[in-house]
Amino acid sequence: MSDPEVAPEPAPPGPPPPSGLVRRHRLSTRLWHWTNVVAVTVMLMSGLMIFNAHPRLYWGQYGANPDHPWLEIGSRGNVGELRIAGMTLETTGVIGVFRNAHGQLMARAFPDWMTLPSYYSLADARLWHLAFAWLLAFALLAYLLWSLVNRHVGDLHITRHEWSPAHLWQDIKDHARLKFPVGEAALRYNVLQKMAYCGVLFLLLPLVILTGLTMSPGINAGFPFLSEVFGGRQSARSLHFIAAFGLVVFFVVHIVMVVLAGPYNEVRSMVTGWYRVPPEPKGPSDA
């Protein structure tokens, strides 16, 4: 007679999911985040003033007024225009042509409120831009090196499972439905966050820094290979603005998601490090 089957013993319960206030962001992450906010904001605004001096982008080594740009912000009479890849879009009141604080009609690529300084000054804009460019570069280098030491960079590792089309599609659907993670999952980066942060840390910011160095006459004289890598000084300038635009897109999406997820909790975690974990929904047995 065979022995009766014995039901397996239940596995010991694991640690309960986190709840309440928990530590989420390291000090190094918080310092770099706010340094990055200030540096990138100043560089974007001063960069727009620099662009106002010659609001055209080209490919190759050279570019001047007689050459054909692939992008141009200008005006035709009192009408602002964005000309890109053979298309012309009217942009009056936004870029190209706008009214200043005194109600005067101005023909300039970007309005005063977007630029640093708010008045036209290429020299001052370059001073702001170069000063904060070094801050951005050294802050990024220090953050990446420290992230290797404390292994924070491992938090951005995308696993094979996360690369699967089904997982990616599910994460996209969750974001589209504004379905935010709760419980322990809220303390980890999801795959779209990892892809976005890796794109900023390892692509957009390095590209902005390296193309900026390529446009510097002093750096270009000492390291002429940079110009060759990016296909010419004007190509580097175009890539510089494309990468900067990518940072703006990331910033806008990031702010929107912070607002939708709960701005007080999200901002507090990036200021103090403390984050209140969103509770998991109660099941029928917990009601």
Q: Is 89 in the same domain as 149?
A: no
In a domain, 220, yes or no: yes
CATH number of the CATH domain containing 161: 1.20.950.20
Q: Which candidate, 47, 34, 31, places its Cα nearest to that of 208? A: 47
Q: Is 142 in the same domain as 92?
A: no
In a domain, 74, yes or no: yes
Residue 161: predicted pLDDT: 92
Q: Is 121 in the same domain as 97?
A: no
Please say if the pLDDT value at position 9 is more than 50: no
Choose one of 108, 126, 150: the last residue of a domain: 108
Q: Which candidate, 195, 271, 200, 189, places its Cα nearest to that of 263? A: 271
pTM of the prediction? 0.86
Q: Is 38 in the same domain as 60?
A: no
| Mean pLDDT score of the chain | 89
Q: Is 138 in the same domain as 41?
A: yes
Residue 17: predicted pLDDT: 55
Residue 140: predicted pLDDT: 94
Lowest mean pLDDT among 65-79, 126-140, 270-284: 270-284
Q: What is the pLDDT of residues 231-242, one digit of tens each?
A: 999 999 999 999
Q: Is 252 in the same domain as 123?
A: yes
Q: What is the pLDDT of residues 181-209, one digit of tens each?
A: 888 888 889 999 999 999 999 999 999 99
DSSP the chain: -PPPP-PPPPPPP-PPPP-EEEE-S-HHHHHHHHHHHHHHHHHHHHHHHHHHHS-EE-SSS---TTS--SEEEEEETTEEEEEETTEEEE-TTTSEEEE-TTS-EEEESS-GGGSSSSS--HHHHHHHHHHHHHHHHHHHHHHHHHHHHTTGGGGGPPPTTTTSHHHHHHHHHHHHTT----GGGGGS--HHHHHHHHHIIIIIHHHHHHHHHHH-HHHHHH-THHHHHTTSHHHHHHHHHHHHHHHHHHHHHHHHHHHHH-HHHHHHHHHTSEEEEPPPPP-GGG-
In a domain, 246, yes or no: yes
Residue 6: predicted pLDDT: 40
In a domain, 1, yes or no: no
Q: Is 176 in the same domain as 85?
A: no
At 214, the amino acid letter reads T
In a domain, 260, yes or no: yes
Please say if the pLDDT value at position 10 is more than 60: no
Q: What is the pLDDT of residues 137-156, one digit of tens each?
A: 999 999 999 999 988 888 89
Torsion, CA 160, CA 162, CA 168, CA 171, rounded to 10? 180
> Where is mean pLDDT largest: 13-22, 61-70, 110-119, 178-187?
110-119
Please say if the pLDDT value at position 13 is more than 60: no
Q: Is 75 in the same domain as 192?
A: no
CA distance 228 to 248: 27
Provide the residue range defining the domain that includes 222. 20-55+113-278
Please say if the pLDDT value at position 3 is more than 70: no
Peptide bond just before 4 cis, omega within 30 deg:
no
Please say if the pLDDT value at position 131 is more than 90: yes
In a domain, 134, yes or no: yes
Q: Is 133 in the same domain as 74?
A: no
**Do 273 and 23 touch, CB atoms closer than 8 A?**
yes
What is the number of structural domains in the chain? 2
Q: Is 61 in the same domain as 136?
A: no
In a domain, 185, yes or no: yes
Instruction: Read off the tokens for 136.
Output: 């951005």
Q: Which candidate, 204, 202, 236, places its Cα nearest to that of 219? A: 236
In a domain, 94, yes or no: yes
Q: How far is the CA of 135 from the CAs of 38, 43, 129, in angstroms?
A: 10, 10, 10
Please say if the pLDDT value at position 103 is more than 60: yes
Q: What is the pLDDT of residues 80-99, one digit of tens each?
A: 999 998 899 999 999 999 98
Q: Is 35 in the same domain as 24?
A: yes
Q: Is 90 in the same domain as 201?
A: no
Q: What is the pLDDT of residues 216-267, one digit of tens each?
A: 888 888 888 889 999 999 999 999 999 999 999 999 999 999 999 999 999 9
Q: What is the pLDDT of residues 25-54, one digit of tens each?
A: 889 999 999 999 999 999 999 999 999 999
